[in-house]
Each structure stands twice: as structure tokens, then as C-alpha cells.
Structure 1
């Protein structure tokens, strides 16, 4: 079999696979969200991605609905959109993570495009907020995508026991993870305080290790100074020897 014939036989399966992928890709290109930290109680940044329009129609507006367990969000500005936050009054005051009384919450964030987002281009929108202290629960942000022609409601939330992949227009969401309890500023401060306390105790008690370290320090300094003088002397001798050799070379006829 010639190389040309073999190449022709390989083209057909490759083309078929490419067509199959092009048909499958749009079905999985949902409006989704990724977060910088999904841990309960953490401050995170959620990035909402809009990968395409509505049936090839350019996108003109994105409305992100905020779940009730999130009291406040800070949206990131986008130079191509006008931004508007909807605030609603709470039925009963709540206490936030800082102990402050809260009487209202952000219910939605709306980005309206100055110029429509073409179907073949994507854009992202960011919201900063504190993750609710509810490890194991799924936090969903129903999102409505409005286009020049039609709209798509990414608002479906999987019921208990239902596979989210079965949803046609799932809402952007993520699962809240257990609080890590590591790497926080409070832990670092506590660790530093404990270390300082231990060092102060050792130095004040006159223990042997502290005394030995104090006594060893001058000895180490003396040794370093002696080695430095030895090195300097060796360098000077080398320069002297080099000078003598150079003088002999020049005096030789």
C-alpha cells in the first residue's frame, strides 16, 4: 500500500471525529462559574464565563442572581458594560461575619453591554463575596443571558439525587468545601506569639542551651576573623609572586 493511499484512508476518520466534536461542544458550553476558594467562610472571587450567544445571536445583558445565603457581593467593573446592583430589604435583620446587623442584601447584579458581545467571542464577570458557612451544600447563581434575539435562562438546579449533567440549562454553581483552618492570618499570629513566648522563657530561665549559644557566638566570630586574615595574607603573597615572575619575564632578553 502506497503512502498516498494510506494518507487518504486516515483523512476520513479524522474528519468524522472533527465533525462529531463540533456537534458535541456547544452542548457543554454552558455559562459556568469558577471560584478562587470554595471553603466555607472564605472570601472568594467567582468568575462567571459566557462562552457564546443565544442561538448565534450576540449577548446584550447578563443578570446574575445572588443566593439568599450570600448577603453582600462586590462586582468587578467591566469596561464594555454598564453595571447595576439590585438591593432588597430583609424580612428580619441578620448578623454578618463581623457581628454587624444587616437589614438588606444584594439580590442581583446586572451587566448591560455597551455594544453586544458577538456570538463567537467570550467574556467573564467577577463577583467577590464571603462563602456561607455551609460545607457540603451547593451554591447556585441563576443567570439570565439576554441577546439581540431571544434569551437563555441558566437557572436549572439539580434536585437531590439528580445528576447535574442531565440539566439542559444549569445555573452556575459550586459545592462549598469544609473550612480549611490553615494558612489564616490568625494561625500565623498565634504561632509567632507561641514561638516568641518559648524563646523568652528559655532565655529567662538560664537554661544550658541558651548559655551555650551565647558563649559559642564570640568563638565563632574569632574563628571567622582569623580565617579572613589568613585569606588576605595568602592573596598578598600571590600578588607578590606574580609581580616577581612578571619582572623576570620582562628582564629576560
Structure 2
């Protein structure tokens, strides 16, 4: 089955999955990391440790969510890569075809670098069609509000959008400002400590004067 970004919602809201079964609830296609920084390039790795029942995996077809400014699949000698673009010129789907089918008891992984655009949503889903020598699994389900994603039979890999470096720089600025204030307070010091320090200095000077006078009296 071929997916486009505009067709994902229809698939999710359909009457059911054509080939995925409830028995697959404990399996899924995962993605790491599970968050992206706004307007920054990040490498996502999609991994799996299962096939279709006991059938080896031959391909992963990953549909891109709306809001990605760029997508660059990682070259991997174990996979052939095919990229499909939409009418807007942006990457619509990426298909990784295994040079050698991945047995169902071994881990397989593919990766790509993506950069969210300014219009990216707070949550980005990457529906995956896992194609096997026999059968296929469609990891396309999304959790609704209040629903636990772990309860889904065939969840789509999902990443969250977080604040980018600009906010981090602001944070460093706040930290720097806070540090400056702390340094200033340290330089100013506690009033009592300052008073005691000044008193000690005066006492020291007075003692020195007394010692000098005493020395002069003994000398004369």
C-alpha cells in the first residue's frame, strides 16, 4: 500500500489495518531520539526487532509528516534507498529496501537527517509500512487525547518538537545574568562581614602604631 502525507489520516481513521494484527501489540518500529529541536537538523534512527510473524523484513517505507523543511536519508550499504517527492518538491516518502532480508529475530535499523520547518506541529508522526517476504505490517496508528500509545496495536513512530538553540542561548543569558548578580553580591559581601573585616584592619593598624612607639621609647 502506498502512503502520502495527505492520505495518512484516512488510513488511521479507516475501519482497520489490512495486515497488522492485535498479536503485534508488543512489537513496533521505534524511533530515536524521541524529540527534535525546532529548526535544527537531527538524525532519526528507525529500528525494529521483528518481521511479519516469522517472515524476514525486506523493506521499510516511511511517510514524512507535514512541516519538515528537509529530509536527507543516510547512505547505508545494507539498504537501497528510494526517495519520492510531492508536488511541493519536499520529500514525501523514503523507502529502504534491504540488500539482504532481515530475519525476524535480528535487529534492523535505518536513519535519516530531518529538519523541522517553522510550520511544524508539536508532534510529528512517521507512519511506516514494514514489508516482509510474506505479508506486511502497517505502523500507522496515533494515540488520541488521553489514550496511552502503548495500548495501540500498531503505533506509528512519533517524535516531539522542542525548543531550539535560540531558547537555549536565552537560557544561558539568564544564567549568565544570574551569575553576574551572584558575583556582584559576593563582591559587595555581607554587611556584618564587611564591618568585622574593617574593624580587624583598624585594630591591626593600631597595634602596629603601638609597637612602633614602644620600640622608639626603648631606643631612646
* Category of TM-score, reference length = shorter chain: 0.5 to 0.7
Structure 2: where are the runs of 5+ without partners? 1-23, 177-220
Partners of 1:134 and 1:36 lie apart in 2 by 19
Question: Aligned pair count?
Answer: 150
**Cα offset, 1:68, TM superposition:** 1.6
Aligned counterpart in structure 2 of residue 49 of structure 1, from 47, 59, 66: 47
Equivalent of 1:120, from 105, 109, 121? 105
Report which of the two structures shows the higher radius of gyration computed on alpha carbons: 1
Secondary structure in structure 2 of the residue aligned to 1:47: strand
Higher helix share: 1
Q: CA deviation at 1:183?
A: 6.3
TM-score by length of 1: 0.53
1:131-146 correspondence to structure 2 within 5 Å: 131-133=116-118, 137-146=122-131
Contact 2:81-2:97 at 8 Å conserved across structures: yes
Report the 3-state secondary structure (helix = DSSP H, G, I; strand = E; otherwise coil) of the residue aligned with 2:70. coil
> Structure 1: 5+ residue runs without aligned partners?
1-25, 91-103, 192-253
Distance across 1 between alignment mates of 2:157 and 2:30: 5
Matches within 5 A, 1:22-171: 27-35=25-33, 38-90=36-88, 104-133=89-118, 137-171=122-156
Q: Is the 8 A contact 1:37 1:45 kept in 2?
A: no
Q: What whole-Å deviation, never above 9, does each CA across 1:11-67 have from its counterpart, x for those lacking one?
A: xxxxxxxxxxxxxxx743310111286222221111101211111110011101011
